Amino acid sequence: MTKKARILVVDDEDTLCEALRFNLEAEGYSTDVAHSAEEALTLDLSAYDLILLDIMMEHISGTHLARILKQRQSTASIPIIFCTAKDSEDDMIDGLSLGADDYITKPYSIRNVIARIKTVLRRTAPASRKETENRPNSLSYKTLIVDPVKKTCTIDNTEIKLPRKEFEILTLLMRNPGQIFSRDQLITTIWPEKTVVLDRVVDVNITRLRSKLGEYSRNIVTRSGYGYVFVE
């Protein structure tokens, strides 16, 4: 029997939480609800396959909780979908830059949320054994080592914490040294489920990635008018 995906809904609107729980369980997902970030932090968050997260909550905001999740090794790889009334372009860029896998603005339909969840879970599901075996266990350049299976990045044997999107960009570039990827190619590869992702989102993620790579930041080169490339 296929294991049910476990989803956590974090939102301070009781009615919305229960509506999401009812509909998600009807779709076959095991669903829990937390009415605040503080309540969510009391749970074993590493046990969930996806987290639906509101941004505007009292005390600890959804973005603050997302930062906490991405900083913890046990939860860094759990996909996050923001569901929020904050619908400006800057809000969306900020949310995606934190490593969120999708950003849904309120009001939304339950059907849309479920469709987005299915897409994200399908894309982030563990690779099959065959796919894993056909890929190298690690990518390296000098003391920079990326492990696509363990989802880790280390420099001089010190782990560098990277949100999902930054990690996927680095992995893609290091797997294809010398190949230039345009913004459109990166969007298609790293955000395949998105209907609209702005070029600025790519630039923000590249800038944040470079800021964490120290001396190796210079290996991610901008080819003006073309895109980005990892140069050895």
The one-letter code for the residue type at 33 is V
pLDDT in the model for residue 133: 41
Kindly report whether the global pTM for this prediction surpasses the value 0.85.
no
Return the top range by mean pLDDT from 72-76, 97-101, 114-118: 114-118
Return the top range by mean pLDDT from 32-36, 91-95, 128-132, 195-199: 32-36
C-alpha dist (Å) from residue 80 to 62, 163, 169? 10, 11, 17
Give yes or no for residue 95 having a pLDDT over 70: no
Give yes or no for residue 129 having a pLDDT over 50: no
Q: Mind listing the pLDDT tens digit for each residue in 164-195? A: 899 999 999 998 889 899 988 888 888 766 55
CA–CA separation, 44 vs 41, rounded Å? 8
Give yes or no for residue 87 having a pLDDT over 60: no
Q: Mind listing the pLDDT tens digit for each residue in 34-54? A: 999 999 999 999 889 999 998
CA–CA separation, 1 vs 153, rounded Å? 34
pLDDT in the model for residue 76: 86
Query: Are β-strands 6-10 and 50-53 bridged in parallel, bridged antiparallel, or unpaired?
Result: parallel
pLDDT in the model for residue 3: 66
